[in-house]
Amino acid sequence: MTRTTFPESHPQGKNKDECDSVPHGEGTNESLVFVVGILVNCAREVRVNYSKGAFVGMTRNASESRIGKRLGLAGISAGAILLLSGCTANEAFFFDMPEPASAEAPIINNLWQGSWIAAWAVGAFTAGLMLWAIFAYRRRRINEVPEQTKYNIPLELLYTVVPLIMVLGLFWFTARDQTEILTMENDQSQTVNVVGFRWSWAFNYLDEDVYSIGMPADSQMISEDPEIAEAQMPVLVLPVDEKVRFELTSPDVIHSFWVPQFLFKMDVIPGKTNAFELTPNKIGTFVGKCAELCGTYHSQMLFNVKVVERAEFNEYVAGLRAAGQTGTIQTGQSNSDGQRPGERRI
């Protein structure tokens, strides 16, 4: 066993009384100097051994074999993780977009998936170039020095032009799809005024002159019975396969109307009416929520969207009318003033 001898100037080379007399921080600095000295000596020894061809006793062939085994093990591990996790292709490569529930949702879904396909392709190509450079230009002889270059104009132009083309292409596809989604043709079968307020939602069915309103989720007024609680929460009922125009208003702060299954959301802004159109094409119940941090009880701004057949929708409207919920919830703070000339007015 080798005994470590500390220099006399090092705190551990002194007795207790001497150590106590060392100013605060001085001993630490001397310790660092001592450790750095050891590391420098080790580095010198490694460099000497490496120049003699005896770096850890490992030959170049053994090193290449070891790298190949590690890469193979990494690939097998990645595949095993993917299989054992039970991920679908959508979950693994596209981060699990919800199943579309409107006629317009596939437009957004295709843009999302196309963007990720491009990203994966660029990532794979870049990784391939890196691996090729690692193996093709590796050091083959101990004393070999790689070719030294200052610049490469064609390569630098390539690195500049190709990313620019990719960004412009992504911008073009995004602008195209956004224009198609936000264009309103005013041929809707149903018009709903969505009112977002702290801390819940109200829905004015303008064509039927009725409204519905609900309580915030987790409110003390919500029943403990799950079935009653679901009925007390805001519910937006829509007829299937009929285009709906949504007019979004708010009397207080900015909210955001979001139904994940529609793959679309839009801000609800006080003093301004935002609008969009979509066609629900799947019967079922879908969760909606506020996607804008709007205050203390933002997390309670939940609602349900029920897409039903036209006959069931008519029954629901008749029920609202029988309950006396006729007319509209007035916000009194929403108008179209101040819109840009090119904006479509309500």
Is there a single domain that holds both residue 203 and residue 310?
yes
Is there a single domain that holds both residue 231 and residue 149?
no
**Residue 331 placed within a domain:** no
- Token pair recorded at residue 299: 């997390």
- Token pair recorded at residue 4: 């470590």
**Residue 338 placed within a domain:** no
Q: What is the CATH number of the domain that holds 286?
A: 2.60.40.420
**Once rounded to an integer, what is the mean pLDDT over residues 315-322?**
94
**Residue 342 placed within a domain:** no
**Residue 88 placed within a domain:** no
pLDDT in tens, 223-251: 566 666 677 789 999 999 999 999 999 98
**Residue 83 placed within a domain:** no
Domain count, the chain: 3
Q: Give CA 190 to chain center in angstroms.
A: 33
Total Cβ atoms within 10 A of residue 343: 11
Is there a single domain that holds both residue 148 and residue 203?
no
**Least confident segment among 155-159, 286-290, 337-341:** 337-341
Domain that holds residue 15: 11-57
**Least confident segment among 92-106, 181-195, 223-237, 302-316:** 223-237
Is there a single domain that holds both residue 173 and residue 195?
no
Nearest to 245 by CA among 207, 197, 283, 213: 207
Is there a single domain that holds both residue 107 and residue 50?
no
Nearest to 268 by CA among 286, 284, 246: 246
pLDDT in tens, 20-64: 443 444 444 444 444 445 444 544 544 444 444 444 444 455 555
- Token pair recorded at residue 64: 């290449």
Cis peptide before 199 (omega within 30 of 0): yes
Separation CA 49–CA 57 (nearest Å): 9
Is there a single domain that holds both residue 177 and residue 296?
no
Is there a single domain that holds both residue 162 and residue 248?
no
pLDDT in tens, 112-139: 888 988 998 999 999 998 998 888 877 7
**Residue 198 placed within a domain:** yes
76-91: buried (b, 16+ CB within 10 Å) or exposed (e) per residue? eeeeeeeeeeeeeeee
| Residue 100 pLDDT > 50 | yes
Separation CA 316–CA 1 (nearest Å): 88
The pLDDT assigned to 13 comes to 44
Is there a single domain that holds both residue 202 and residue 303?
yes
**Once rounded to an integer, what is the mean pLDDT over residues 274-298?**
93
Is there a single domain that holds both residue 122 and residue 169?
yes
**Residue 123 placed within a domain:** yes
